[in-house]
Amino acid sequence: MVVLAKPPALEQISLLRSPELGPGGASSFPGVPAVDLSNPGAALAVVDACERFGFFKVVNHGVPMGVVDRLDAEAARFFASPQAEKDASGPANPLGYGNKRIGSNGDMGWLEYLLLAVDQAPVPKASHVPSSSLRDAVNQYVGAVRGVATSVLEAVAEGLGVAPRDALSRMVTDAASDQVFRVNHYPACPLLQRLPDSYSVTGFGEHTDPQLVSVLRSNGTAGLQLALHDGRWVPVPPDRDAFFVIVGDSLQVLTNGRLKSVRHRVVANSLKPRVSMIYFAGPAPAQRIAPLPELLGHGEQSLYREFTWGEYKKAAYRSRLGDNRLDPFRI
Ligand code: GA4
């Protein structure tokens, strides 16, 4: 007999104060930098955005909209299927279908999701993806965004003056690299209309991504917010045609803190459902994560004690979503 855990109710999900931009706050955030990777100067623009915000968007990326639309349609079909069918792909542990529970340490959000290992090979038949059409759409989409992540990491190396150009991107193209893909569905949350305006419901709690970089796109519904380096939260205007790039903890360490991972979160929307898809580019488990020697100035010491991606991932999965996971590795 299969016993299904009852999904947690809204009362168990934390409320958030809506972002307070403070005096001059909104105007002092110039907005999310947009980079066309084919432009001359793109490498420096990428590094500048990663230093200032740990976040930017890639425009004119060349990924056919058909690939994106196909996954949008398949994801919508999956999330609209009967609960029992979705539950058959879960509970997420950590991979599979998850409903409101994020990770295994008590974090919860107003969402359901599919979390998949995508590595280099196509998502296998025996994975948590129930339909072959969804599996094909995921494989095609991931193939395309892996290319975006690779180009971004090449631009980072070039912009930082690191040789060879693939010093970072080869950690992702490595046959043993650890790549994860998640499709999130944040249902509309009409109960929000009964809360005072300054409150919202947590969709996905604040966190940094442990990997090198993450490539995110959404269906154009608002909800994503990011923390600036001074701690202020700002909303990210949705753009369904762009890919948002998020710097992860591992890239922060490889650059000895020059590029910083960015805390981000999602708040529920009262009226419109939000669907997002995120590709997490992680290195091979045995990959050593330590500042690249070219990035250490004369006499400059590493800010972190050395670890492998496998060790970091294990520590991450034992942590709570909002923890500062790099702290225990700081020297
Ligand atoms: C955050 C980034 C990715 O979504 C993820 C998440 C993972 C999960 O959902 O299982 C974690 C979270 C993420 C970091 C801390 C742990 C693990 C949930 C959680 C509480 C897939 C990842 O790699 O790390």
Give the DSSP letter string of 61-118. ----HHHHHHHHHHHHHHHTS-HHHHHTT-S-SSSEEEEEEETTTTEEEEEEEEEEE-
The ipTM value here is 0.99
DSSP 53: T
Q: Is 321 in the pocket of ligand 1 (CB under 6 A)?
A: yes
Residue 249: what are its φ and ψ, rounded to 5°?
-55, -40
274: closest CA among 216, 322, 233, 321?
216
Q: Which atom of ligand 1 is nearest to the CA of 278?
A: 4
Choose which residue among 280, 320, 325 to substitute to test ligand 1 binding: the one with the highest number of ligand atoms within 8 A of its C-beta: 280
How many angstroms from the chain centroid is the CA of residue 249? 11
Per-residue pLDDT, 18: 64
Q: Is 115 in the pocket of ligand 1 (CB under 6 A)?
A: yes
pLDDT above 80 for 61: yes
Which protein residue has the closest C-alpha to ligand 1 atom 2? 209
152: closest CA among 232, 26, 241, 63?
63
- How far apart (Å, rounded) are the C-alpha atoms in residues 95 and 101? 12
| DSSP3 helix / strand / coil % (the chain, rounded to 5) | 30, 25, 45
Q: Which residue ranges make up each domain of the chain?
A: 49-329
Q: Is 94 in the pocket of ligand 1 (CB under 6 A)?
A: yes
51 CA → ligand 1 middle, Å: 23
Per-residue pLDDT, 23: 47
Residue 258 and residue 162 in contact, taking contact as beta carbons nearer than 8 Å: no
pLDDT above 70 for 84: yes
How does pLDDT run across 211-234, given as a tens digit for each residue?
A: 999 999 999 999 999 999 888 999
Which protein residue has the closest C-alpha to ligand 1 atom 11? 103
The region of weakest confidence among 49-58, 190-199, 278-287 is 190-199
Choose which residue among 209, 320, 326 to substitute to test ligand 1 binding: the one with the highest number of ligand atoms within 8 A of its C-beta: 209
Residue 72 and residue 95 in contact, taking contact as beta carbons nearer than 8 Å: no
138 CA → ligand 1 middle, Å: 19
pLDDT above 50 for 329: yes
Q: Is 209 in the pocket of ligand 1 (CB under 6 A)?
A: yes
The label of the residue with tokens 């509309």 reads 188
**Rg, the chain, Cα only:** 19
Choose which residue among 100, 128, 207, 264 to substitute to test ligand 1 binding: the one with the highest number of ligand atoms within 8 A of its C-beta: 207
pTM, to two decimals: 0.94
Which protein residue has the closest C-alpha to ligand 1 atom 8? 103
- How far apart (Å, rounded) are the C-alpha atoms in residues 67 and 308? 34
Residue 58 and residue 52 in contact, taking contact as beta carbons nearer than 8 Å: no
How does pLDDT run across 130-145, given as a tens digit for each residue?
A: 899 999 999 999 999 9
Both structure tokens of 99: 């409903």
Q: Which atom of ligand 1 is nearest to the CA of 207?
A: 1
Choose which residue among 100, 101, 102, 211 to substitute to test ligand 1 binding: the one with the highest number of ligand atoms within 8 A of its C-beta: 102
- How far apart (Å, rounded) are the C-alpha atoms in residues 165 and 170? 9
Amino acid letter for position 214: S
Q: Is 96 in the pocket of ligand 1 (CB under 6 A)?
A: no
- Cβ neighbours of residue 213 under 8 Å, at least 6 residues apart? 149, 152, 153, 245, 246, 247, 248, 251, 281
Q: Which atom of ligand 1 is nearest to the CA of 92?
A: 10
119: closest CA among 307, 289, 283, 308?
283
- Cβ neighbours of residue 97 under 8 Å, at least 6 residues apart? 86, 87, 88, 89, 90, 91, 112, 113, 114, 128
Q: Which atom of ligand 1 is nearest to the CA of 323?
A: 15
Residue 101: what are its φ and ψ, rounded to 5°?
-90, 130
Which protein residue has the closest C-alpha to ligand 1 atom 23? 210
Residue 173 and residue 150 in contact, taking contact as beta carbons nearer than 8 Å: yes
Residue 137 and residue 74 in contact, taking contact as beta carbons nearer than 8 Å: yes
For 49-329, CATH number out of 3.40.50.2000, 3.40.710.10, 2.60.120.330, 2.40.30.40 equals 2.60.120.330
Range with the largest mean pLDDT of 2-6, 9-13, 90-94, 267-271: 90-94
What's the mean pLDDT in 248-269?
96
90 CA → ligand 1 middle, Å: 16
